Amino acid sequence: DVKVTQSSRYLVKRTGEKVFLECVQDMDHENMFWYRQDPGLGLRLIYFSYDVKMKEKGDIPEGYSVSREKKERFSLILESASTNQTSMYLCAISRDPTYEQYFGPGTRLTVT
């Protein structure tokens, strides 16, 4: 069974705080993705990584950065959290960027 875990299910942070969201996989997949999910907007890609230390911007990278120092771990960083970053954040992995993706349970982040 594919296992994608995310560091927290729920997180509450204050405006201006630095926020770290972590994703860990046990499948040895090269590709890892961060999405945000908002009602009525579906999933939007923030960043993805196809290898250690490699990253590419997705559709909405502004206000976010990522880090991938080890193959199994992909971190999403909000340098200075803002209220418009309140959302559900989903991590996903895939063996190939064109193949199916496997998702973690998500982190619901609230920025107050």
Residues in touch with another protein (CB under 8 A): 33, 40-45, 48, 58-59, 90, 92, 97-106
The DSSP letter of residue 52 is T
Give the shortest CB-43-to-another protein separation in angstroms. 4
Write down the least CB distance from residue 100 to another protein, Å.
5
Cβ closest to another protein, residue 24 vs residue 106: 106
φ/ψ of 92, rounded to 5, equals -140, 155
Nearer to another protein, 13 or 44 (CB): 44
Q: 10 Å Cβ neighbour count for 18? A: 10
Residues 49, 27: Cα–Cα separation, whole Å: 15
Nearest distance from residue 106's CB to another protein, in Å?
A: 6
Return d(Cα 89, Cα 105) in angstroms, integer.
9
Give which of 70, 58, 86 is closest to 78, Cα–Cα.
86
In angstroms, give the least distance from the CB of 107 to another protein.
Answer: 11
Name which of 16 and 97 has its Cβ closer to another protein.
97
